[in-house]
Amino acid sequence: MTTEDTDTSSEKLRVLIVGGGVAALETVLALQDLAADRVEMRVLAPKSEFVYRPMTVREPFAFAGARHYPLAPIVAGAGAELIGDALVWVDPERRVVHTTGEQEIGYDALVLALGARITPRYTHALTIDDRKMDETLHGLIQDVELGYVESIAFVAPGRMAWPLPLYELALMTAGRAYDMGIDMPITIVTPEDSPLAIFGSQASEGVAELLAEAKIQEINSAYVEIPAKGEIVVNPGDRHLHVGRIVALPELYGPSVRGIPLSEHGFIRVNRFGRVADCGPIYAAGDATDFAIKQGGVSAQQADVVAESIAALAGVEIEPKPFHPLIHGMLLTYDEPRYLTAQITGGQGFSSQFGTEPTWSPVSKIAAKYLAPYLEALDRQETAA
């Protein structure tokens, strides 16, 4: 920490949080808890809603879809101000950000939580995009129900985006086909060494059993090209598969924020405290960072780490803890969900767990210390009303 970072004045630390997703909201709620009287928070986000992205996988099956929460009350409730605008670039020297609305906004600490960019990897596949999940996949599921689809492959490109949705979509499609009495081969082709390998061996074995029960074939350690509609080339081995339809995960790219050091593919390079090197009090959390696993729960943990560092910067007596990812995954299937947990080290899970009972609370797709109970309470209030 440099001397310029240590604010010992009685003034509140001006914290600017860029983004309106999991990482941004978790940062706001964590800072409200840790340092409410020492920080003045502003949230810069272009959209007026927070969308609960993991539940979009249910939409093509006509199950209840993802909830949309207005951002304004969440942000205001945490004592922060919402600015409806988007970041364009950062000037770390002057400690200001520039926006699309041509505003110049100053900060004492900046949190970049603006997510990743979704980019289709294959021209000849339907690419999963949660902003239009139903629009993209509803027609396919209808065709499955009508028996028009001969076979489907669910494919992940070499750089995996979020791990769960590919498996969830495959399992739900298999369940729907079974319900309709349709026998349709389904294959998952991924670069992972085993199914959902990041969750460790025990969870991976559990998922493999689930896939076997659903008669889903898995091709692992596979690097895929799709040269034409219905044609998959699997490498190593130059194996050619012919399938009726292909559904692919996108590739994720970082937000390529101008003005700060970036790592490969535009992601923001952070240290174990979520800090961006060599540009003053700038932090980042979530899918925007260069941490290899893109997951809502991981984003929230990174945000908690950042919040502790900023609380310390604001003068709170706290020893910020570094990032030690623990991932929880709720895998949706056609019937009851399965729960996966792993402590991550070196990109692989260990002390892996798998079962029908959750090991975390509140039970939610996105396990987050502050955001999960907050949303649970909100949902409960609305149900009661």
Q: Residue 268 interacts with ligand FAD (CB under 6 A)?
A: no
Q: Residue 61 interacts with ligand FAD (CB under 6 A)?
A: no
Among 115, 157, 281, 320, the residue binding ligand FAD under the rule CB under 6 A is: 115
C-alpha–C-alpha distance, residues 277 and 268, integer Å: 10
Among 155, 164, 188, 203, the residue binding ligand FAD under the rule CB under 6 A is: 164
Q: Which stretch binds ligand FAD (CB under 6 A): 6-14, 188-196, 274-282, 290-298?
A: 290-298
> CB-wise, 48 or 351, nearer to ligand FAD?
48
Q: Residue 86 interacts with ligand FAD (CB under 6 A)?
A: yes
List the one residue out of 268, 264, 265, 263 whose CA is nearest residue 289. Answer: 268
List the one residue out of 208, 155, 164 whose CA is nearest residue 57. Answer: 164
Q: Are 304 and 335 contacting, i.e. CB atoms less than 8 angstroms apart?
A: no
Q: Which of residues 305-364 bind ligand FAD (CB under 6 A)?
A: 329-330
Q: Residue 60 interacts with ligand FAD (CB under 6 A)?
A: no
> CB-wise, 13 or 45, nearer to ligand FAD?
45
> CB-wise, 64 or 384, nearer to ligand FAD?
64
Q: Residue 301 interacts with ligand FAD (CB under 6 A)?
A: no
Point out which residues pair with 361 in neighbouring strands: none
> CB-wise, 252 or 314, nearer to ligand FAD?
252
Write the CA distances from 24 to 43, 181, 345, 350, integer angstroms. 8, 45, 25, 28
Q: Are 89 and 256 contacting, i.e. CB atoms less than 8 angstroms apart?
A: no
Which two three-digit tokens encode residue 365?
A: 């797709």
DSSP 183: -
Q: Residue 53 interacts with ligand FAD (CB under 6 A)?
A: yes
Q: Residue 56 interacts with ligand FAD (CB under 6 A)?
A: yes
Which contacts (CB < 8 Å, 24+ apart) does range 78-81 have? 78/28, 78/29, 78/31, 78/32, 78/41, 79/32, 79/36, 79/41, 80/17, 80/28, 80/32, 80/41, 80/42, 80/43, 81/41, 81/42, 81/43
Provide, rounded to whole angstroms, the least separation between the CB of residue 102 and ligand FAD. Answer: 14
> CB-wise, 38 or 269, nearer to ligand FAD?
269
Footprint of ligand FAD (CB under 6 A)? 18-24, 44-47, 53-54, 56-57, 86-87, 113-115, 130, 162, 164-165, 286-288, 294-297, 299, 329-330, 365-366
